Structure 1
Amino acid sequence: MAQLDEIGETDGWRCWLCDEPVDRDMPPNDSRSATVDTRLTKARVKKMKQDKTPIPPERLAHKGCNTGKGAKDAVIAWPEHLIVVEPASIIAAAERLERKGGREAMARCPTRQDADAVADWLVDRMSRLAPNLTLKSQIASTGGQYLVSLST
């Protein structure tokens, strides 16, 4: 239980998959109870060890979110209220930015207002997904659309 408490404190008692609060006092069989997610498949961990790539830390997840993910790599969904075209994989982008920094194109939006909402959400969501990563957003007008990018 000490490991769960430590990871829960680090993650601010929020599920890293759905970004909703986790109640540490839920019964263990409840789908909203707290679990520790290793984030990666065993095959991917094995490959990272062979390549001497740092393995990401374990994260806090709801039991239901963790079970739903199963033995697959996680996918962070874009919220339905955001209007985006060609959205990037959030976890893959976070991993690349953590590993080598730089800039990542995240999505295109039809209006500046949509792009502003996407940029704000991305910076906020990434601050919990990759807490050691300091990001800023950029919005560029490109051929009648707005490109939202994140950079370190």
Structure 2
Amino acid sequence: MTISDRPAARVVCVDGLGRVLLLRWRDSVSGVVFWEPPGGGTDPGEAPLDAARRELTEETGLPGEAVDDVWVPVPRDFHWLGVHYVKVEPFYLARFAEPPEVAPARFTGEELDAYQGHGWFTPAQIAALPEPVEPPGLPRIVALLTNRAG
């Protein structure tokens, strides 16, 4: 199994009711279904904030400029398509008064095959989801981000 530390960035989108946007994925190698905030790999020479904004638009159709330069470092240790990722990713904050329409704009072929939908969830609902949530402890990360942003 390959181990990767490829740089990436994620976005925690929070609506006016404190709900968080999560995307549902199915790993075609392991068969695991899980939820996580939008985000993905940083292109060579791309700043993490720019990657977060680009990934938000690509995966959700939401405006990248909604991503604030407010972030926390999050240790990650997960498997995706037969690759073991061990790294620290910046998780950025984006706020929306109302939950906007989510419509993936530019998925890769790999993402098209894996995407299972999305939802807006309160921290209590996140804790009660039947599938795993990546990263574990996401409600704590959301609290850190929203407290940091004020």
TM-score by length of 1: 0.28
Question: Which protein has the bigger strand share?
Answer: 2
Higher relative contact order (CA 8 A, sep 6+): 2
Larger Rg: 1
TM-score by length of 2: 0.28
Question: Which protein has the bigger helix share?
Answer: 1
